[in-house]
Amino acid sequence: MAASSSGGPSKPQELEARVITAAQDIINRLAQSLQQPNTTCIPNAEHSHEHSGGQAQTPKDTVQTEMARSFPGFFTKKRGKNRFSPLQSSALMPKSSKPFSVYIYLVNKGCTNTPSATEELQLSQAGLGKRSLILTDDMSHTMVNKKIKEEYPKMDGVQGWLLHKSSGGQGRRKLVAIPPDVNGYTGRLIRNVSSAGKTLLYVVPLQQDLDLTPLPSDAAEFQTMPKASCQVCKESMPLHILALHVNNCVKSQSTEEEDETDVQLLSVMNSPSFCREPLDMKQDMKECPICLCCFPVNEIAQHASLCGERPEDTSTHMTDVYVSTDSECSVPSNRTDPLTDLVSEADVLQWLSSQVDTSKDFRICITRNDLVQRGFIQWQRQKKGSPVNKLHVTFIGEAGIDTGALSKEFLTEMMHGIETRLFEGSGKKGKSPVYSISDLENSFYRTAGGVFSVSLAQGGPPPCFLRSWCYQFLATGNFDALQLTKDDVDDTEYRSLIEKVEVADNLTDLTEDIVSCGYTGLVKLDKRDSIIRSIVVHATVRLTPMLQQIRNGMKIYNLLEVIGRHESLCSNLFVPRDENDDTAPDADYIMSILEPELSERGSPRHAKENAIINFFQDFLENLESSGLCHRPVTDQDKDKKSCEYGIQDHQDQDQEEHWNSKHQPPRMSVPAIMQWLTGQRHKPCLPSERANFKIHVRFEHQCKDMMPEHYICYPLVSACTNTIFFPVAHMNSYTEFTEVMTTAVTMGRDFSRV
């Protein structure tokens, strides 16, 4: 036992020797397998050896067996978590990145917002715009840049670009830059910022401006796009270019056809056979009876169709005329701007009337009660027509049919109401707009501008009540504030303030009002002129919003353009004239346009008719000499006022004035009489209308025979035909005539008979 234990090897040493032997055997096997790889498929005696079992094994099987025996934890198949060989483990194999698609949009340098529809079309024609790229996560910035240059050849040579994405919202949105990471714009970064291709990314160059010139249809940028052929020129091109090409191609085709026709005509007129020799010298020629020139027989028909239309002064120089220009083969074009031919007010009004669209009616149905306020509202509510159409007015509850008189009466009332409600001032030198924010918010000033345009174009009265600086603003959009004086201030508050500053010995009490006008200097008596100047400028400049709204309303019929180009010519239509102005009708004018139908001269009826004509003339002259007059207030009116207000006449003057303005008929005047007769209180503006403007007078002698028991008759007026019927039996004296006429004018403005 002792010899055995001391002479034999121990177990650890024996195990170590076996491991070394196995390792050497493995190394030898591996070396042999590397030198002769075919031995794995064809066993050979030279490369095999005998094992203890006597079985021949290939090197691959031997290595696998030896490794499994030496390292069972690593090379044993199908055992738990370690069943896979390290050489076959997927962890050691490189993973292939899954590709994804992303849309990019190339815009020009400096683009800060998403392109509009027009810009998108321009970019697409230039080879820019939207494209789709296929990227992977493992792509570097260089690879991404190469992909972009392949899609956009115009990016070749661009030094530096940034990716952007649009912010939220609708319409044109702001572009927000996407900062690159350390490695630039990699595939992984683009996947993240685009939500795996769901978000459109914009490529914006940093330094170079891209060429936006439209590319030809066969450019490299359009090779992959769907194409179609033009039916005219048969050229194939992308769809977005074909959409624009179709119109141009059709136009160019028509132009070419016209040019071909012109060329044919030119060839006829300038053919080598053209001559002026007599007919008998050339048998194949015929002489034109118009120009007496010779042409070939087969061309004389074409020449004859054109020879009679050419200008007369070119008959002896026909060849030169038809060679010099192409357009002279037809009617010569002498087209000029029609606005340049306006030389008078009549020309302006005639041009405006030609701009009225008569295909539709601008219908307004309104009552006479509170006509101006209701007129503003109904003017704005119209939907089927517009002020550019022919105005057609219907007074609710009246039987009148508008053939022109009702429209003129409506425009007359509206113009008068606009002057009294939206303007203030004395009227001799014009008026200024009232500073009314409520009317401005209701767009009443804009409606007033529309009424101005329609009234001038459709026979209404002109708005000749504006101050010169107001008209200057309407014509040009500005006015010279340095030319304003204190007389141009119409606001009673500021006029009163100016008067106080002029007479004050101490301005301390007025400091707050002066400072509120924008004056920032010292409030002293020696600065009185500067203070007044500040008040004047403040009182006028604050009215510009009202004037601007009027100006916007005057765009109808291009009236703004007309007065802008002919400011001095149109001034009399907006600014009051001098005292010798004859635009307002007077008694002499009304009497001059009367056309009475008189009975037989020398008869009793003829004498009565002449007496009524004289009464009418005296009535008009008395109105003119006495100014304005009211219908006398009767006891019935007083009782109605007392019942309505519960007061007597002397108790409250303000309530009495309010009642008078509400219930008392309008004041009588010569223009009011003319409006009652014709529907308008102004003379016709156009000379042609003024020459044909007449008032027909008829006389009714048989009212007693038709209605024996009646005791009063009133004149009957037909404003559409400008005709008045006087009841002769009830106008035997001037007193009776005055009473009947006053009642008829003040109480009979409605159209109650047809």
Percentages of the chain per state (helix, strand, coil), in multiples of 5? 50, 10, 40
- Over residues 370-396, mean pLDDT: 87
Specify the pLDDT at position 90: 47
Q: DSSP character for 197?
A: T
pLDDT, tens digit (0-9, with 9 covering 90-100), for 179-228:
888 888 888 888 888 888 888 888 988 888 887 777 777 777 777 777 78
- Least confident range of 1-5, 98-102, 150-154, 549-553: 1-5
For residue 523, what are its two tokens? 């409030």
Q: Is the pLDDT of residue 60 over 70?
A: no
Q: Which of residues 374 and 261 earns the better pLDDT score? A: 374
**542 band by pLDDT with thresholds 50, 70 and 90:** very high
Q: Is the pLDDT of residue 398 over 70?
A: yes
Maximum mean pLDDT: which of 63-67, 460-464, 665-669: 460-464
Q: Which of residues 633 and 708 earns the better pLDDT score? A: 708
Specify the pLDDT at position 170: 67
Q: Is the pLDDT of residue 276 over 50?
A: no
- Over residues 428-432, mean pLDDT: 87
Maximum mean pLDDT: which of 96-100, 454-458, 750-754: 454-458
- Over residues 483-505, mean pLDDT: 90
Q: Is the pLDDT of residue 684 over 90?
A: no
Paired with 395 in beta bridges are 366
Ordered strands of the 695-700 beta sheet: 594-596, 695-700, 723-727, 716-718
Specify the pLDDT at position 94: 53
Q: Is the pLDDT of residue 317 over 60?
A: no
Specify the pLDDT at position 76: 62
Its pTM surpasses 0.95: no
Count how many residues are written for the chain: 754
Maximum mean pLDDT: which of 125-129, 138-142, 450-454: 450-454
For residue 619, what are its two tokens? 């009535």
State whether the Cα torsion 663-669-670-671 is positive or negative.
negative
pLDDT, tens digit (0-9, with 9 covering 90-100), for 599-608:
888 888 888 8
**481 band by pLDDT with thresholds 50, 70 and 90:** confident
Q: Which of residues 666 and 369 earns the better pLDDT score? A: 369
Maximum mean pLDDT: which of 120-124, 147-151, 244-248, 749-753: 147-151
Q: Which of residues 750 and 261 earns the better pLDDT score? A: 750
Specify the pLDDT at position 450: 93
Matching residue, tokens 């994405």: 165
d(CA 188, CA 207): 26
Specify the pLDDT at position 327: 37
**451 band by pLDDT with thresholds 50, 70 and 90:** very high
* Whether 348 contacts 558, CB under 8 Å: no
The amino acid at residue 478 is N
- Least confident range of 222-231, 420-429, 698-707: 222-231
Q: Which of residues 70 and 571 earns the better pLDDT score? A: 571
Specify the pLDDT at position 707: 79
Query: Over the chain, what is the mean pLDDT?
Result: 75
Specify the pLDDT at position 642: 47
Q: DSSP character for 388?
A: T
- Calculate Rg over the CA atoms of the chain: 51
Q: Is the pLDDT of residue 386 over 90?
A: no
Q: Which of residues 622 and 634 earns the better pLDDT score? A: 622
Specify the pLDDT at position 219: 74
* Whether 550 contacts 448, CB under 8 Å: yes
Q: Is the pLDDT of residue 270 over 50?
A: no
pLDDT, tens digit (0-9, with 9 covering 90-100), for 490-500:
999 999 999 99
Q: Which of residues 300 and 602 earns the better pLDDT score? A: 602
Specify the pLDDT at position 325: 36
User: What letters, b where the CB count within 10 A reaches 16 and e where it falls short, cover 406-426?
Assistant: bbbbbbbbbbbbbbebbbbbe
d(CA 637, CA 640): 5
* Whether 629 contacts 598, CB under 8 Å: no
* Percentage of the chain exceeding pLDDT 70: 73
Q: Is the pLDDT of residue 280 over 50?
A: no
- Continuous segment of H or E residues that includes residue 433: strand 432-433
Specify the pLDDT at position 265: 40
d(CA 50, CA 55): 7
- Least confident range of 51-55, 452-456, 616-620: 51-55
- Least confident range of 102-116, 165-179, 288-302: 288-302
pLDDT, tens digit (0-9, with 9 covering 90-100), for 330-349:
334 444 577 777 888 888 88
